[in-house]
Chains A and B, each alone.
Chain A
Amino acid sequence: MEIRSKTLGVVIAIVIFGGIMRASVLGFWKPTLSKNSVNIQANQSTGIYDPAEIRGSHRFGDISTWFDIPLEILSRAFALPADVDPASFQNLEFDSIYPEFEGEQEIGNGSMKWFVALYTGLPFELEHDEEDTYLLRPAVDILMSHANLTTEQIAYINAYAIDIEIDSEPIDYSIQTDEPQSSNQAESDRGGNADDRKQDEMVVAGQTIFADLLGWGLSVEQIEAIIGGEIPNRLMLVRDYCTDNGLSFGEIKIDLQAETEKVE
């Protein structure tokens, strides 16, 4: 059988648009973001979720569960109106509650990823198309109060903060934290807030430095066996070491925590 160009053109158009129509009738044609939230998967070896996996369809309630962030914190960080149910609010709905910001400032899904990463201390990098991502001032205040940020991070989030007026009652940011204590020198280097930390807990987290691990009783050999190299500086963040050396902080953290618990 021979087919000529006119027939071929018609057949191509019919197959494509007929296929789309058929898929549409069957409910499979979904070219826009689904309103149905799709669960993200925790890393199989570490059990940790990745902030980069957060999508526009995810609800605040899901994010709160996955990343263990109180729903109230998320609600305040993103200044949700009082009449909005935070548990069912989706990231893709940000446009509906915020006014137009100046220039290319944007509060969107990237803002949520960024906030979650800083709040939890999980590694994360904004993607290229998220470079105009900003945080609302309440989110920055919460992070300043709660998260263990480096001086560089503090300067950065302040530069990318959008001031907004909030009608609701004043916000209490005095949130308790489970982050471990670090050495005083490192605290000043990081611009951290040591007073907020529970000093007795030996939990490996984003702000843990090598000196912390040594202070908890781990030997240099034990640590170096896990990180696969020499400790370059005892005041260095374990997370920064992992980033510099292309290691997964999540995995190293698990191993170090296991070793710490043996010491305990």
Chain B
Amino acid sequence: MIIKRSRLKQVWPRTVLQVFFFVLIALIAINHTLDGTLIPIFSNVSLHAVCPFGGVVSVYQYATAGTFTQKIHESSFILMIIIFILTFLFGSVFCGWICPLGSVQEWLGKLGKRIFKKRYNQFIPRGIDQFLRYLRYIMLVWVLYMTAVSGKLAFGDIDPYYALFNFWTGEVAVTGLIVLGITLLASLTVERPWCKYTCPYGALLGIVNLFSIFAIRRKESECKPCNLCTQNCPMNIPVHTKDVVRDHQCIVCLECTSEANCPIDNTVTFSTKGGR
């Protein structure tokens, strides 16, 4: 059965969560700037305290010395564990549903689509694009190594997420602001450039994607060669060629599914093995 879908039937719950987490993190950052006076219930929680990647970079120091990397708190560890549980279950939902930096890139991308139409997200030749996508693993190894040997947040000075929510404080390194600027500008031509090419946390979660319980699955017998699933994938994954999307770049945005852009019901679904 072919169903024409209106924009209202897009994956709106994801948008709701993206906006919610963006506002939440922005409020936490502003509240911290004001020494916790804006929203007393948040206390004086810093951005580092609510970043699960802080837990990841602290693992080595915690295991060897029993202490946390500077500026990292126990809460980062808790969030790290929660996000790992979510990722084992559903894949990189953190990237597609929660991460405010990913959301901002996505929102800017909508403007880029209006400007560049069909050329949007297609500027980088496929060969180069495929190579660049492994850069984030180099970044991941570098960040983990430097943090382990220095005991400091090696990533801090180039972290666009921290820069995005602290640019008004004067605490952000110039390099962080430059990386943020490049990321935002690049978002006008490429969908989620930071996520695709550089994000160390996305790299780590992407590995878990390869064996998560739920995954995007395509029923080939019902599929028509419209390629809408592939065309609407922000991460340029060729969904129409796969039975199961086990891709380290998938952000589980569900844009390829029958709930969103696939025109045939129950053909591309987010499900467990054998589940339809």
Contact = CB atoms under 8 A, between A and B. Distances in A.
Interface of A: 1-6, 8-13, 15-16, 19-20, 23, 28-34, 38-41, 52-53, 55, 95, 104, 127-129, 132
Nearest to B275: A1
A9 B17 contact: yes
A5 B75 contact: no
B65 A28 contact: no
Interface residues of B, number: 50
A19 B214 contact: no
Interface in B26-63: 35, 43-46, 49-50
A2 B152 CA distance: 43
Given A33-B73, A38-B67, 10 more contacts: A5-B14, A9-B13, A15-B89, A28-B74, A30-B75, A32-B46, A52-B70, A55-B70, A95-B35, A128-B173
Contacts of B259: 4-5
A104 B170 contact: yes
Contacts of A39: 67
A244 to B, nearest CB: 20
Interface stretch (B105-113, B235-243, B266-274): B266-274
Contact of B90 (A8, A10, A19, A52): A8
A22 to B, nearest CB: 9
Interface string B58-91: 0000000101101001110111011001100110
B254 A5 contact: yes
Nearest to B48: A31
Contact of B78 (A20, A32, A95, A132): A20
A-B residue pairs, 6 tightest by C-beta: A9-B13, A31-B75, A31-B49, A2-B271, A19-B82, A30-B74
B50 A31 contact: yes
B270 A4 contact: yes
Nearest to B49: A31
A20 B45 CA distance: 14
A6 B275 CA distance: 18
Contacts of B260: 5
A111 to B, nearest CB: 16
A127 B170 CA distance: 13
A34, A40, A127: which has the most chain B beta carbons within 10 Å?
Answer: A127
Given A2-B270, A55-B70, A129-B171, A31 B82 contact: no
A19 B44 contact: no
Contact of B151 (A2, A20, A53, A104): A53
Interface in B248-273: 254, 259-260, 266, 269-272
B145 interface: no
B276 interface: yes
Given A19-B78, A32-B45, A32-B73, A9 B157 contact: no
Nearest to B252: A8
A113 B45 CA distance: 23
A28 B81 CA distance: 12
B135 interface: no
Contacts of B81: 19
A5 B50 contact: no
A47 B16 CA distance: 53
B13 A5 contact: yes
B233 interface: no
A30 B157 CA distance: 24
Contacts of A9: 13-14, 16-17, 97
B82 A16 contact: yes
Nearest to A18: B82
Nearest to A128: B173
A32 B49 contact: yes
A246 B115 CA distance: 49
Interface in B161-178: 170-171, 173
A130 to B, nearest CB: 9
A1 B16 contact: no
Nearest to B273: A1
